[in-house]
Amino acid sequence: MPKVKLYDTTLRDGSQGEGISYSVTDKIRIAQELDKLGVHYIEGGWPGSNPKDMEFFKKMLRVRLQNSALVAFSMTRRQNIKAKDDTNIKALVKSGAKFITIVGKTWDLHIKDVLKVSLDENLDMIKDTVGYLVSEGLTVFYDAEHFFDAYLANKEYSLKCLLTAENAGAKAICLCDTNGGTLSSQVSKVISEVRPQIKVGLGIHCHNDAGVAIANSIAAVEAGCDMVQGTINGYGERCGNADLIPIIADLKLKLGIDCISAQNLKELAHVSHFISEISNMRIRNDQPFVGDSSFAHKGGMHINAVMKNPRTYEHIDPHLVGNRRRILVSELGGKTGIMLRAKALDLDLSKEDPKTKKILKLVQDLEHQGYHFEAAEASFELLMKKALKKYNKFFELEGFRVVVEKHSDKKITSEAIIKLKVKGTKEHTAAEGDGPVNALDNALRKALKDFYPTLSKMRLSDFKVRVLDEKAGTAARVRVLIQSQDEKDSWSTIGVHGNIIEASWQALVDSVEYKLLKDNVK
């Protein structure tokens, strides 16, 4: 089986993505996760560019990686100075990393207009930098910046840059599509011409500005590259880098290329979600292989077929990458979707059961009103159990009032007053909050806390409001989606109404009742 080395640059290139900022602790945690996954090289950052990266490399000296090699990144030495005297190059040696990646100019446009040096001086900068680091006992990779643009503009000179790095001792040359505008056919053609002229390893580094970074990376491997650079979830500047998650899955499952073990492949979904959390970036539901929607089926015909033979609508077994199949409940899913969801909840419901038809009709009516149960599975479970009379009320609402006041000092206060009947006892409580929904949530919990102590373990983690008919203006019906979580699970609930407070109340109540239901509270 052919082998391809995986080179992750989430900690450097990925951190340049808009909205992403890693602490040193974040970077260490991500590095450890990548090491568990079996990534061959982890680019930790640019030691000479900022104190944070220098601290990261210092702390990583005490972290033992089992599968990965830590790589430090920098550029070729500055002009008119020797590599051994360049502060950036000194920082690389001081970092303690045994592997170094040097990025150098390859495109004559950049050399003339950005570096403003001669083409020969640029070659000397590559030779001196790579040669010096190799003389220090370090393994050097050379990143040929803007290589595909450079090759099309000046084939002879761009190749000279690669050969200069190779002759100076670089162990691998990585061809970079830095502007991200090259198409796969061009990538394949260029690599097929370059590969025979390079004796050392050849890598690929793609950006996603034309939306083809993953395809270009795969095409590069098929054309002869044996190293792929990228980031987890495709994080990176502008439109991002090539996403290593689908690249790994494609290499392993589609091309039969040995890049990580089959066991580690099952960690792909976990790693993707873990790093999205650390990055404070929402995971895309439709992300190939690992997104929540990757193996979700909504159409009735699809559901029916996939339950008979998963290959009908699934290109791989989702468990191979640590994901799972999801059967979505909607007005499009038909009775099969209702029946399968019931089975997952250990409810006895057959396709011909009149109750199945009743629940389907209820779902269709509610979705016509604006409900969206595929995004609120907890609310659907409650709906189903209520329809099947498998549910007992935990409390009854007698009424609530929400007051929002704006004072002369511009301070806004929200207060909710609520009356409930809980286990035969009347509760009348009030609570303030940052807004009306928060106040209502606080009042509800306050009223229930003595009866249901486990509610203290749950919290609201997301709140979304969607206007269903924008033409109605402020009188429009709204859909509220609430995501809640405890120390073990997360779940989503829904409410729909012309009054945003009532829609929020519906979703809040479902969230609380689902928590009590799953805890088997009586």
43, two tokens: 């680019």
Q: What is the pLDDT of residue 340?
A: 61
Query: In the chain, pLDDT over 90 holds for what percent of residues?
Result: 63
Degrees, nearest 5: CA angle 488-277-238 = 160
Task: Determine the Cα–Cα distance for residues 306 and 313; give it in Å rounded to an integer.
Answer: 6
* The domain defined by 5-260 carries CATH number 3.20.20.70: yes
Q: What is the pLDDT of residue 331?
A: 45
Task: Determine the Cα–Cα distance for residues 68 and 66; give it in Å rounded to an integer.
Answer: 6
Degrees, nearest 5: CA angle 155-158-159 = 85
Q: What is the pLDDT of residue 475?
A: 64
Task: Determine the Cα–Cα distance for residues 161 and 126; give it in Å rounded to an integer.
Answer: 7
Torsion 239-245-249-255 (CA) sign: positive
pLDDT, mean of each 10-residue run, the chain (522 residues): 89 94 92 97 92 94 96 95 95 96 95 92 97 98 98 97 98 98 98 97 98 98 97 97 98 95 94 86 87 82 82 93 76 56 61 71 74 76 78 89 88 93 92 91 92 88 78 73 83 89 92 88 76
Q: What is the pLDDT of residue 329?
A: 56
Contacts of 149 (CB under 8 A, 6+ apart): 107, 109, 178, 179, 181, 182
Largest CA distance in the chain: 88
Residue 103's alpha-carbon distances to 129, 165, 178, 258, in angstroms, are: 10, 10, 11, 27
Residue 414: strand, helix, or coil: strand
Q: What is the pLDDT of residue 427?
A: 92
Contacts of 188 (CB under 8 A, 6+ apart): 219, 220, 222, 223
Contact assessment for residue 148 and residue 180, using Cβ atoms and an 8 Å cutoff: no
Q: What is the pLDDT of residue 374?
A: 62
Q: Which amino acid is at 64?
A: R
Q: What is the pLDDT of residues 225-261, one digit of tens each?
A: 999 999 999 999 999 999 999 999 999 999 999 899 9
DSSP track, 350-409: -TT-HHHHHHHHHHHHHHHHT--GGG-HHHHHHHHHHHTT----S-EEEEEEEEEEE-TT
Q: Where are the domains of the chain?
A: 5-260, 296-370
Closest C-alpha among 88, 85, 80, 163 to residue 117: 80
